[in-house]
Structure 1
Amino acid sequence: MSPLAHMGRTMALLAALLLATGVALAQPEPTDDQRRAATEMAEALRYGHYADISLDDNWSRRAFERYLDVLDSQRAFLTEQDVAEFLPLEKQLDDALLDGELAPFFALYQRYHERAEARFEWLLEHLDQGLDFTYEGDQRLELDREDVPWAESTQALDELWTRRLKNAALTLVISGQDDEQVESNLRQRYEGQLNRLRQTNEEDIFGLLMAAVTGSIDPHTGYLSPRQGESFDIQMRLSLEGIGALLQADGEYVKVASLVPGGPAERAGVLEPADRIVGVGQEDGDMVNVVGMRLDSVVELIRGPKGSVVRLDVVPAQAVDMTRSREVRITRDTVKLEDQAAQSEVLELERDDGVHRVGVITVPTFYVDFDAWQAGEDNYRSTTRDVAKEIETLQNQGVEGIVLDLRNNGGGALQEANSLIGLFIDRGPTVQVRDARGRISLYGDTETGAVYDGPLTVLVNRLSASASEIFAGAIQDYGRGLVVGTPTFGKGTVQTLNELSHGEIKLTRAKFYRISGESTQHRGVEPDIIFPSLVDPELIGESSLDNALDWDTVRSVQYREYGEPWRFLETLRARHRERADTHPNFVYLEQQAELNRRMREETTSVSLNRELRQAETEALEAEQLALENQRREALGLEPLEEWIDARGEEDDSDQEKEEEEPVEQVQVLEAAHILLDHSQLENNYRFAHRE
């Protein structure tokens, strides 16, 4: 052991001795600025939040439970006795917030801190003694402990952590590391967690407490410290000099929530939503294990100068065993407006009555060049302007209809969603916005005439959010076209950033409603025809977030209907089903989605027996391989000999090169077929009912 490490152990033992002899360690105390900010937070929540917030004892209990979850979500550090000692605080958080008396809650953090510090010391002591696990027997480790009771004793936590340590070691052993590498990697992990824990200051503690306060109300309200407020765009969204990904904490792991359209990660094609990042390295440096690391610390590691390379150790979303990680490389870059611009293409579909041409316009985000717009420039870039140009281009190419692809479009400028709807309707309301006082503002298109009035289908998925949902909902309500794909994200709230005397608060102030009166919140937009999805709604989406505001309705507004797609839905769904049941890629998507769902429901623990663990992993991979080869055989492609997640490989394999149609491209093709079916049925209906 190094002298510095020995000194650290000695200090920890001294701390434990002081506690045992009744000598109190210095307790962290909230500052006057933090006390004042807490009171301001309470006022902002009571009088500024969209929901009717009562900071009473009932709320206090919820927020206290949330604070415990923030500190120890896996019930791995605190004991039942620890929690019982602080239980009287569960009815005091409301008064503490209003009065700025936060010291008792800092003391609760300090108890957690002491337990966590002692636990990491315990783990390092075990590593000093050497790992002598045999990886036999029938032991298993429970993966999610959020709902389990608090441990009755320290001895019970010792047993839990023995299994956790064994699992961590087994994971590295199965990945091919020898004993020395296993010990080195685990030491790096736990020393890193211990060092970060010891660097915690009063501002960090205040931030954790405020996260519990705001998180008990809704997932999009939050406190930003002065440091976070200086670079709000960097908080989780690495869009300036990073990889272009929205990240979120998921237990001990950092999870990819979504990718920034046109960003480095999306262009590289190496990350997917719900992938977990377990390691971060620079171009030539060592890989730093980030399991258990705070989200903002992981963000700092991933960010870097434009043009530099970051290496990520990633566990795919579908993987159950954390040994199945892969290293990917992403070159950091800025996201340019051109990379997010709308683009179009023409699909040629061969059907019984000949070849049909359908246009597809992909809209990655709702953007506008605000600087050029505010400067009064005539040719500023925006989603609406670019889509209008693409429509003209497609019409000149003689397309029979247009598919607007909003998959993975997380939203953007509300004004662009509003004006984009106007390209497809002749004036009318587009969205209702209700504020905290119940006042409803109605937004709409005031331009006479539509740029395009032909057949239209909107393609969405789970990552279509906010402005995308407003657009899709309006097209559906107007009967202007069909919406196909998967249920959308469900983000139907509006946030504003308000300054405090210390930091800022991001506050949910309003809610979106469709012109039909239905909220887009929580439920999202339900497509007319639903496609299978590889994105698990239990992991991604508003409904997967704690304390998301509920779906509700307001009064509808008057609007005209341009069509009646509902008349044809039964026939359209039947025709879609017939194609989907026979198309290899659609069959694959449905079977893989079902496998992912079953894996999530069945995998609640992992075996600590090496042979059984490997057998379980191999069985899963065999099932995935069988699905893939079934698809490939139907497409006339060479089968794979083993299951490989090819994302992140610099050189495409021969199998990938011969792939003529990516799996998810079938959704675009099917959307085009549905558009043609709808157009045909509607024309026949009009002909049969003409006057």
Structure 2
Amino acid sequence: MLQFMKNKILIPALILTGLAVFFSFRYAGGTEGGGGAQEQKTILQTVMGIMEQGHYSPRPIDDAFSQSIYDKTLENLDFEKKFFFQSDIDGLAGYRNQIDNEIMDNSLEFYEKVSAVFVKRVNEAEHYYKESLQQPFRFDQNDSIQLDGKKLAYAKNDTEMKARWNQAMKYRVLAKYIDLKEGEDKKAKDSANYKVRDFATLEKEARESILKIQDRYFKRLKKMNDNDRFSLFVNSITGTEDPHTDYLPPADKKKFDEMMSGSFIGIGASLQQQEDGKIKVAAIITGSPSWQQGHLKADDIIIKVAQGDAQPVEVEGFEIDEVVKLIRGPKGTEVRLTVKHADGTNEVIPILRGKVEMEDTFAKSAIIENKGKRVGYIYLPEFYADFSGENGGRRSGQDVANEVIKLKEEKVDGIVLDLRNNGGGSLSDVVDMAGIFIGKGPVVQVRSSGSQNTILKSSNNAPIYDGPLAIMVNNGSASASEIMAAAMQDYGRAVIIGTNTFGKGTVQKLVSLDQFVNASVRDQIVMAFNKAKGGDAVYDGIGSLKLTIQKFYRINGGSTQLKGVTPDIILPDAYEQLDNIGERKDKQALPWDKIAAASFKLWDKPPAIASLAASSKARVSANETFRIIRQTADRLKLQQDNYVVPLNEQRFVAKQKESEAISKKLEELDKMGSPIMVKNLKADMRRINVDTSSKAKNEEWLKALKKDVYIAETANVIDDWLTSSAKVLHMNASHQ
């Protein structure tokens, strides 16, 4: 996702003015209805108006638009086809070409019908799994299950639906039974006196375990209220416009802001829901309020939560998100947790809420030692930016600049920037980050719906670092990651290594819906809300729209939309053959196109791509780990094409063993290690040694880097670059 620079690039004033006029006209006729329906109609009307007036490439509201909404709504509600009957679909089919007309009339008829049917079928479906799990299963038959919902037909009657649920439960029980059986075999191997439990006992335990899981699943389904289902419906509409235009209810908007900033207000404890429903503390975030207070520990069970000295709430049986809501709150306020420690003692722990920074979100670096060379490695999981944080908040562009400066102080010979699985983020930060390596110059072109182009340039007068640079990407590298990789590739500034990127070349802007709601309409909604929720509840608006308003283009003129960035050096990837990854998986994705190139100057010391690629290809061909990765890619493609799983124990285990054999081989290769050594920077040791938890996490990270075959190969490419540069310097010196 991309977010524009706050107070720098906003939705064009023309769009905002047009929206204001549009909504003053739309709301002029007053309102009808009240309560939830009034709010939902207001949301629908506002979302459609903003998309119509502000989207980069709004689609016509016609039968094709209607059909897509219809299909997406059914798929989002019931992808596995375990709730709706064919008769339900037949009853809803008349709406398939009518939703566009309903939208124009601000009608919710289709939504109300499909929502009512879904609620009814969920309530009815509960007895299917409970009845199925009452009787023992046999695993010696030659049946199987199709796990791809798109290849299933809707059940025609109760008999077919019962059979579908029975099949699904059998699949889950079989998987659990095999896990239990493997545990028994391990115990017998470790102890000659251990008596392995029989099939009937293990099968019964497996059914009981799956029953608990299903009960929790249905509890969550039943908690899904009308607003939740309506949000899903609205997102079927926005997803028809394009894959990245999303409706965000207020709670989701808050989560989005936290994701972008890498921080939130809370206590800094990671929670985990156990199978028995208890809430366990999984980990304490270093530096957080919980860490500073010191009493809350990993493995503690949370029994009660109180707001200061108010009456505590017992949370056993609560869903984890409900407990999180109770624990979160304004900065500086107190939450009191009653916990049961691992030693069996209970304690009431008062903690003042404060800012929690998720360190795993932020840039960090290490030094790779390979063939006598020192290579700086920077890991960047996302292009974060805390626009509203204290002192401006943390910014990925500045953090990466700091890491580069620290690596230069360590006198590294080259730098690797790892953008694998980096889904993007702040556009301003990718522009700043490019300047670290190229100095002043254009980084990306942005085009608005009116075909107006803007060239965004880095402002650095000179690069902070001008040595060898490699950028690692994969099919999870999207948006801002693709801008960065594309710019460095176009300049000839870096060698891009990995697999083809995601292909997201669009720009989104968060728009608050409330600013377009007529005051009288808002008053009615708030009154209905207060009446329904009571005086203690706080109305927080109708949400926001993450709207696609622009496309970005490389400085060479080509878009990264749909096609992504093709690396200079392509490495095997387990997911490279799958067609459900990346922008191409969605039919609503905007097309690839091209505009005029920007004026820019090529880097004067570009890498010798052809030579580096040839050397890498020879190494990869001889590398056993990459050979197994190719085998995994073939297996995953076969599985995608034929997602049928046997429910016969022997055949199920045989299929598992095929996968396990590959995984085991990879584990063996991991244990052999690689020729690279990985260590921390001197400047980071004080932060790392702050406590045992931080030290342990750091050790695990270094181990993972050392085992990473992609990092090892990237270090080899940097070595090739340095070696070839040294040869050129030597030849030039000898000719003088």
Q: Same fold (TM over 0.5)?
A: yes
CA displacement at 1:138 relative to structure 2 = 0.7
CA displacement at 1:236 relative to structure 2 = 12
Q: Structure 1's 157 and 565: CA in aligned 2 closer, same or farther, altered over 3 A?
A: farther
Residue of structure 1 in register with 2:72 after alignment: 66
Residue of structure 2 in register with 1:120 after alignment: 126
CA distance in 1, matches of 2:648, 2:259: 40
Residue of structure 2 in register with 1:24 after alignment: none
Task: Output aligned runs, 1:481-630, within 5 Å.
Answer: 481-500=494-513, 501=517, 502-534=542-574, 541-544=582-585, 547-563=588-604, 565=606, 568-602=608-642, 604-629=643-668
Q: Equivalent of 1:42, from 24, 45, 48?
A: 48
Amino acid of the structure 2 residue aligned with 1:71: L
Residue of structure 2 in register with 1:208 after alignment: 232
CA distance in 2, matches of 1:338, 1:190: 34
Q: Equivalent of 1:97, from 103, 106, 124?
A: 103
CA distance in 2, matches of 1:556, 1:263: 49
CA displacement at 1:575 relative to structure 2 = 0.9
C-alpha offsets along residues 244-284 of structure 1, whole Å, 9 cap, x if unaligned?
99xxxxxxxxxxxxxxxx9969xxxxxxxxxxxxxxx9854
Residue of structure 1 in register with 2:369 after alignment: 348
Is the counterpart of residue 149 in structure 1 residue 149 in structure 2? no
- For the aligned residue pairs, the C-alpha RMSD in angstroms reads 4.3
C-alpha offsets along residues 88-145 of structure 1, whole Å, 9 cap, x if unaligned?
1111111212222112431122123223322222333444xx3132222111011112
Amino acid of the structure 1 residue aligned with 2:80: Q
CA distance in 1, matches of 2:223, 2:704: 51
Alpha carbons 1:417, 1:471 under 8 Å: kept: yes
Amino acid of the structure 2 residue aligned with 1:614: V
Q: Structure 2: which 5+ residue stretches go unaligned?
A: 1-33, 181-200, 271-282, 287-297, 304-317, 329-334, 340-352, 518-541, 676-692
Residue of structure 1 in register with 2:710 after alignment: 667
Q: Structure 1's 515 and 243: CA in aligned 2 closer, same or farther, altered over 3 A?
A: farther
Q: Structure 1: which 5+ residue stretches go unaligned?
A: 1-27, 246-261, 266-280, 287-295, 311-331, 637-649
Task: Output aligned runs, 1:398-477, within 5 Å.
Answer: 398-477=411-490
CA distance in 1, matches of 2:660, 2:88: 43
CA distance in 2, matches of 1:670, 1:309: 50
Alpha carbons 1:263, 1:334 under 8 Å: kept: no
Structure number with the bigger relative contact order (C-alpha 8 A, sep ≥ 6) is 2
C-alpha offsets along residues 411-448 of structure 1, whole Å, 9 cap, x if unaligned?
33322211221122242111111223332221002332
CA displacement at 1:38 relative to structure 2 = 1.3
Q: Equivalent of 1:221, from 231, 242, 245?
A: 245
Q: Structure 1's 244 and 211: CA in aligned 2 closer, same or farther, altered over 3 A?
A: farther
Alpha carbons 1:345, 1:360 under 8 Å: kept: yes
Q: Structure 1's 600 and 564: CA in aligned 2 closer, same or farther, altered over 3 A?
A: farther
Q: Structure 1's 530 and 154: CA in aligned 2 closer, same or farther, altered over 3 A?
A: same
Alpha carbons 2:440, 2:459 under 8 Å: kept: yes
- After TM superposition, the structure 1 stretch with the greater mean CA deviation from structure 2, 136-145 or 557-566, is 557-566
CA distance in 1, matches of 2:223, 2:672: 56
CA distance in 2, matches of 1:634, 1:200: 47
- After TM superposition, the structure 1 stretch with the greater mean CA deviation from structure 2, 544-553 or 67-76, is 544-553
CA displacement at 1:231 relative to structure 2 = 5.3
- After TM superposition, the structure 1 stretch with the greater mean CA deviation from structure 2, 60-69 or 204-213, is 204-213
CA distance in 1, matches of 2:155, 2:673: 53
CA displacement at 1:223 relative to structure 2 = 1.9
Alpha carbons 1:366, 1:416 under 8 Å: kept: yes
CA distance in 2, matches of 1:632, 1:430: 41
CA distance in 2, matches of 1:520, 1:227: 31
CA distance in 1, matches of 2:75, 2:92: 14
SS in 2 for 1:151: coil
TM-score (norm 2): 0.68
SS in 1 for 2:466: coil
Alpha carbons 1:429, 1:559 under 8 Å: kept: yes
Amino acid of the structure 2 residue aligned with 1:549: L
Alpha carbons 1:113, 1:197 under 8 Å: kept: no
Q: Structure 1's 239 and 590: CA in aligned 2 closer, same or farther, altered over 3 A?
A: farther
SS in 2 for 1:403: strand
CA displacement at 1:478 relative to structure 2 = 0.6
Amino acid of the structure 2 residue aligned with 1:428: G
Residue of structure 1 in register with 2:377 after alignment: 360
CA displacement at 1:598 relative to structure 2 = 4.5
Alpha carbons 1:238, 1:244 under 8 Å: kept: no
Q: Equivalent of 2:81, from 75, 78, 94?
A: 75
CA displacement at 1:550 relative to structure 2 = 3.1
Q: Which structure carries more helix by proportion?
A: 2
Alpha carbons 2:673, 2:707 under 8 Å: kept: no
Alpha carbons 1:237, 1:244 under 8 Å: kept: no
Q: Equivalent of 1:108, from 107, 110, 114?
A: 114
CA distance in 2, matches of 1:189, 1:207: 26
Amino acid of the structure 1 residue aligned with 2:368: L
Q: Structure 1's 170 and 357: CA in aligned 2 closer, same or farther, altered over 3 A?
A: closer
Q: Structure 1's 390 and 124: CA in aligned 2 closer, same or farther, altered over 3 A?
A: closer
TM-score (norm 1): 0.72
Residue of structure 1 in register with 2:135 after alignment: 131
Is the counterpart of residue 169 in structure 1 residue 169 in structure 2? no
Q: Structure 1's 509 and 197: CA in aligned 2 closer, same or farther, altered over 3 A?
A: same
CA distance in 2, matches of 1:37, 1:414: 28
CA distance in 2, matches of 1:238, 1:179: 44
Alpha carbons 1:346, 1:358 under 8 Å: kept: yes
CA displacement at 1:669 relative to structure 2 = 3.3
Q: Structure 1's 430 and 242: CA in aligned 2 closer, same or farther, altered over 3 A?
A: farther
CA displacement at 1:179 relative to structure 2 = 5.0
Q: What percentage of residue pairs aligned between the two structures are identical?
A: 30
Alpha carbons 1:592, 1:627 under 8 Å: kept: no
Residue of structure 1 in register with 2:183 after alignment: none
Residue of structure 2 in register with 1:256 after alignment: none
- After TM superposition, the structure 1 stretch with the greater mean CA deviation from structure 2, 138-147 or 75-84, is 75-84
CA distance in 2, matches of 1:579, 1:59: 50
SS in 1 for 2:149: coil
Q: Structure 1's 592 and 424: CA in aligned 2 closer, same or farther, altered over 3 A?
A: same
